Every structure is written in structure tokens, then in C-alpha cells.
Structure 1
Amino acid sequence: MQKPERLKERLLRAELCSPDELKGCSQKQLREIEKCARAPLPADYLEALSLIGCHAGDFMGDLDFFYPAMLALTDRTRELLAESISLPEDSFVFADRYGEQILFFRLSEKQKGAIFKWSAEEPEQFSKVFNSFGEFLEEELTAHEMQAGD
């Protein structure tokens, strides 16, 4: 996982946001998010939210990812997927890209921290796509940095 200082540096250097556009979640908001999840969330996810959980300029602007929108994502996803597949009970949805791609954690100890994806292209299955939030964040950052360099 990117340390918050390094993450901030990369976001600013790629001009994905200005310093005043970076808004992290407060400790109270982080507790509210974990309460919503009904289980402890991965430490690297919470660490990132402490820096970018409320807003990060253009970074991940194509996702429902930020607080407070993320609080409703799991319930909304359960309704959305009800006709094709059941979201596992231990799921916490943390990102939704236009209802076409959904990313979630499975919070059971066996799966803790791994990220799974549901896609409208393959609506009857879930795929494990990352071993950690840090891997996901690195991929998102790299993609945005490459676009900024074009």
C-alpha cells in the first residue's frame, strides 16, 4: 500500500488533484464506514480513506467510491444483482463503476483484504481481481499517471 505521503505526492505530480481537493475521512467517518460493513475493514483501505476518502480531484472520479456514497453501495448492489447472482453475506462493496463493474471485499478471515469484481459482461460470477486494496490502488494510480502523461 502506498504510504499517505507517497500517495499524495503521486496524485499531485500527476495533476489528478490540487492540495485543496484532497479530503480524507475523519476518524468518526472511518468508524461509521466500519459500522456499515459490520466487520473490520482492511487496514490499507482505511489508511487510503484517511487521505482520499471524501474527495481526490479527478482521481477515481468515474467510481462511486467516496464517502458518504460508499455507505449505500452494498445494499444497492444486493438489489441490483438479485436477479442474476447473490452477493456473498460477508461482502462490503467499496466501488461501483456505473453499475457495470462492482468491486468488493469479502470480510471473512479466509478472504480478508482480497478484492472481488462483478461485471455486467459476466453477470453470473464474481472474480478475484486483487490480493489487496494496495494492489488495486497501485493499478488505478498507474493508469491515471499514464493518462496524465499522454
Structure 2
Amino acid sequence: MPHTMSSFVATLLDSGIATADTVRGCTPAEVAEVRADQRVEWLPAQYEEFLLTAGRQAGDLLRGTDFFYPTVLGLADDGRELLDENDAADLLPEGAVVVGMHQGYELYWLAPSGELSWYKEGATTVHRTWPSLLDFLVDQAEAQAVARGGAT
């Protein structure tokens, strides 16, 4: 398993999910914009590393999901609204960073502990968790590689 975002990107390249020209990171100013949008003093280190390494695009990874800059801007408010509408606002811990939303009904966030949670509309519990953002990304890349008929 990759231990850094750079080694994760190498995995994406090896699997064909991305090519060198389809992996684009954010600038430090764009990372600062994400941090301000989330209204937090800091972003989890692994998320900041992700943004700087592949925060604008990571090939075909998570296609159709708002997970990349600039579509992540505004997700903190959208995510809270989704959870409020489903009587699940208590699921989002204080200081969490909303990192993704799929089609307006699935939400992904990083807790201050670094754990990534996945929520699906209509539920009052978290659908699934991963120990870290990197674990989630690796899991998603492996599932996508299998769906494409390959392996990571």
C-alpha cells in the first residue's frame, strides 16, 4: 500500500487510472482557499498533501464526485445541509473537513482524528469509514481498477 500521496499517484499511473498529464495539484493559494472555505485553522496534513499533489485532478479517479478543486468549495455548507435535512447533523464531528460529495446525496468528511467517513442520504448513521484519506483513496483506486478489468 502506498504510504504517501506521491506513491499513491504512482499507483494511479501504473494502473492506468491516470496519466502524468491528468494529475494536477493545487497551488498553495488554492489550498488556502479550501481551508478558508472550510472555516478551519488547518487542514489535516494528509488532505493538504492530497490537494498539493492531485487536488485539481487525479485522472479518472472519483469521476462524477465533487472531490477536486474548485468543486470542493462550498461543500462544507452543502454537507451540513444534507445532514441537517436527514436528522443526522450530529454525525459530523466538530472540526471535521468535508472533502467530497457525490451527486448531492453522498458525503465524505475527514474527522480531526484523520478517519474518513462516508454518509449516504436517508441514513442516520455513517455508511462506512476508513482509517485515513489515503486508505480511502487506495480503496477507491483498487475498486476502479477492478471495474476496468485490471488491478492496482
TM range (shorter): 0.7 to 0.9
* Distance of 1:6 and 1:66 partners within structure 2: 19
Q: Are 2:103 and 1:101 equivalent residues in the alignment?
A: no
2:106 pairs with 1:115: no
SS at structure 1 position matched to 2:68: coil
Residue 69 to residue 20, structure 1, CA distance change in 2 (3 Å): same
How far residue 128 of structure 1 moved from its aligned partner, in angstroms, is 5.7
CA contact (8 A) 2:82 2:105 kept: no
**Contact 1:93 / 1:105 at 8 angstroms: preserved in 2?**
yes
Flag structure 1 segments of 5+ consecutive residues without an equivalent.
none
Structure 2: where are the runs of 5+ without partners?
none
TM-score, length-scaled by structure 1: 0.83
The count of residues paired between Structure 1 and Structure 2 equals: 145
Q: CA deviation at 1:89?
A: 4.1
Residue in structure 2 matched with residue 147 of structure 1 by the alignment = 147
The percent identity for this pair of structures is: 28
Q: Are the counterparts in 1 of residues 35 and 41 from structure 2 also a CA contact under 8 Å?
A: yes
Is the CA contact (8 Å cut-off) linking 1:14 and 1:148 kept in structure 2?
no
The alignment's C-alpha RMSD in Å is 2.0
The 2-side partners of 1:106 and 1:9 are apart by: 26
